[in-house]
Amino acid sequence: MARVIVAEDDEIVGQIACDVLVAYGHAAGLVQDGAEALQIVKTRRPDLLVLDCNLPGMSGVTVLRELRNMPAFCDLPIMMLTGRRGAQDEELARFAGADDYMKKPFDPDEFVFRVEELLTRKQKASPPKRA
């Protein structure tokens, strides 16, 4: 089970994302503001962050840049889940440090598959814990 924060200003889309994550055994919380998402991540680091590009208070890309500039969060898996469909938007997000970029509307099963893929990659990259 992973702890996932979903930062999405559309409550319905955010709730769908959270519900499908919970259905697959993960813990998920929804925030609707970029600044709030940044504060929550800093307070209690999740296993993965899902960001919309268009968040009030602070855009998802700005949140992404802020986190990538902090050593404690440079390895946090971050997926962009957004309505921005242009190739330039995706390039910008990936350049800022997004690990994945998924366009809305999204297929819930594919969303969970990609979330779990990011979590698996993170586990493989982490050094083993000593007993």
Concatenating the DSSP letter of every residue in 89-111 gives HHHHHHHHT-SEEEESS--HHHH
Report angle CA 15, 48, 120 to the nearest 5 degrees.
Answer: 120
What pTM was estimated for this model as a whole? 0.92
Rounded mean pLDDT, 69-82: 95
Rounded mean pLDDT, 112-130: 83
For residue 118, give the DSSP letter. Answer: H
Radius of gyration of the chain (CA): 14
Q: Give me the percent of the chain exceeding a pLDDT of 90.
A: 85
Provide the CATH number for the domain formed by 3-125 in this structure.
3.40.50.2300
Rounded mean pLDDT, 86-94: 89
